[in-house]
Structure 1
């Protein structure tokens, strides 16, 4: 296991996902400023999910075959610039364009980052990928806190200050780039010319469907939880803190889930965590006060425990094309999950936000049932080599 590579990649992942999750706290302010419906809110989230996801297989395919030294710092810089412009949006159309470009910048980063983390993990892929995912989950949890702090002190236009840490981490990632540009040894990649020749297609589609349902639940809760809590008369800054607690608990649990999966198996950890989420989320919806907060944090723990495992399972299905596997799982599956958020917004407009939250609570239960259609495997990835510096 290449520890320094994993630390650098996890840190980079943390910062890019901080920016990726400032939107939920900003959405209630955009609702007031532009008089948005729940459907329009859902479309904003769906656009970001789609633009940040559907092109990821392309970038993953490229990263399997050519040097992509600029993908990581370039992706971070693009996301930070566009996130800083969100509060300056003069209208809904400008907001949508900025969100779309921000999503593409995020798509540039993720397959390259996940590929490097997986190859740097050696035989402890569950733990290594979990360390990379931990950084993203911590960033995702810190995003609402940072956004709430900015708008509380400087208003919506205060998002311009988000550019400062983005420039710093871009420079740091570029300076340390030699530590994480890893690729599989080309002579060992038997699937290089035909990446789908040995792919268990039906099983891979099941995995994509499972990840789609889980991503739909995660993205839907992230998008609508602050609005749901506001309807329960929870202040905006408190709603942002609760969302961060939900995500941070899952970040820590994801690391534990990856470690346990190396010992107990991927399927056992994934199925049990997804099964437990639904009753905990229902208890949150039916309770109030501090007890409801406890149930929400426990639900986040269960929902996000399985996040790293889906990536590892995809890599073990496509061991010689893990960049492409990363892009397919993170891209197609999460993109479809984003489309589901748009559907959630439409349901909320017609049947109420509480009903939509109930639907989101049931989706991981269906995903848990799908785990029984997957096989347990421990494929060996091709060894990792550093790419010679080209600059």
Structure 2
């Protein structure tokens, strides 16, 4: 009797390991925003200067992720998972050591490149391991959201030991994440992990729907600006609106990130019942009053609206990924690089504008335009349809499993 695990069991183990590795990587996306209050307090940066650090992490990541996605459409590069994890961790770990603003920007930018290199290839590997399951891809996305949620707690704990000079301790999750990535790749069969050469014969059947993909990408940009803007400034804003200290700010950032974990799980289940497009549209619509509550409501109610905003922003998160891959079935790496990368991190490009507006007026005034962006995203989503599912698949990019509930339009 064979003692080798079944392919299904190996795939589930791979998804679990990939999800944990994803958590370790996305700690470094959340860590940059979590470090902003400490740069303000220890180095007396202005709002605009501090938001420039968020921009440094986002700018190269925004540009690089689609490029890495295009590369993974041509060649399989599973080795990128552990290497990029270490790169992201080392960049953030070095950010507190130099008093030079230029050096800080440079190492944070390196961290952004590491994060950029990770996501397209990891999404390709996760798609192989999940065999197109929305639930499995939701679990993979959940790992990243948990990493975001853990970031402010981890940063606060490390900063409490010695301020920014203790930042080298932040490399620990990267070491764990690299080991998890290696373990995940080993659980997949070598042909599956290495699959990905995008010859015409190897690509899955199906037609790329660029108009639908671009509309969805525009909506994700709106979501990204809201999320990154709140990530960069909600800690400071919570202190102002609640009259609390450092803990009040850390708690608000933690709620913003933690709600994402709940939203991602709910998103997959709701999509199975009501359809992906319907769930995504409603999420954007309900996010509008939730963001308004953050900006306009004083006191402890801010935390409630932060949780609602987080859920609204994250319910469609894994659905963006699977929809993007299904709209571009012949360019899964590119779709992953855009949905997980460019359109997500491009929100960082707006953070200096928010910071400059806050310096010129007030933080509340600077955050007020964020209320309108989910509504704009909803308008872009109004004409979207469920992607046509390809009839054949390959190991490089299996098509999502058919699901009449998720594939129909209510």
TM norm structure 2: 0.86
Is 1:131 matched up with 2:139?
yes
One of 143, 150, 153 as aligned partner of 1:145: 153
Unaligned runs of 5+ in 1: 387-391
Please list the CA deviations of residues 269-314 of structure 1 after superposition, one character each: whole Å capped at 9, or x if unmatched: 0111111112122223333343332222122111111111111111
- 1:234 counterpart residue number: 244
Whole-angstrom CA distance in 2 between matches of 1:304 and 1:89: 35
Shift of 1:249: 1.3
- 2:259 counterpart residue number: 249
Shift of 1:32: 3.1
Please list the CA deviations of residues 238-273 of structure 1 after superposition, one character each: whole Å capped at 9, or x if unmatched: 311221122111222112112221332111101111
Matched ranges for 1:364-375 at <5 A = 364-375=374-385
- 1:389 counterpart residue number: none
Is 1:225 matched up with 2:249?
no
Whole-angstrom CA distance in 2 between matches of 1:385 and 1:58: 18
One of 148, 161, 169 as aligned partner of 1:161: 169
One of 159, 181, 185 as aligned partner of 1:177: 185
Contact 1:185–1:382 (8 Å) recurs in 2: no
How many residue pairs align between the two structures?
383
Contact 2:82–2:178 (8 Å) recurs in 1: yes
- 1:261 counterpart residue number: 271
One of 322, 329, 332 as aligned partner of 1:319: 329
Change (3 A) 1:165 1:305: same
One of 370, 379, 383 as aligned partner of 2:394: 383
Please list the CA deviations of residues 315-370 of structure 1 after superposition, one character each: whole Å capped at 9, or x if unmatched: 01111221111112233323432212222222222232101222112211211121
Please list the CA deviations of residues 133-190 of structure 1 after superposition, one character each: whole Å capped at 9, or x if unmatched: 1000000010001001111232221111122332233233224422356366769955
Contact 1:14–1:140 (8 Å) recurs in 2: yes
- 1:293 counterpart residue number: 303
Unaligned runs of 5+ in 2: 1-7, 398-410
Provide the secondary structure at the position in 2 that maps to 1:21: helix
Shift of 1:123: 4.2
Shift of 1:373: 2.1
- 1:26 counterpart residue number: 35
Contact 2:213–2:328 (8 Å) recurs in 1: no
TM norm structure 1: 0.90
Change (3 A) 1:143 1:3: same
CA RMSD in angstroms, aligned pairs only? 2.4
Whole-angstrom CA distance in 2 between matches of 1:264 and 1:154: 49
Contact 1:183–1:384 (8 Å) recurs in 2: no
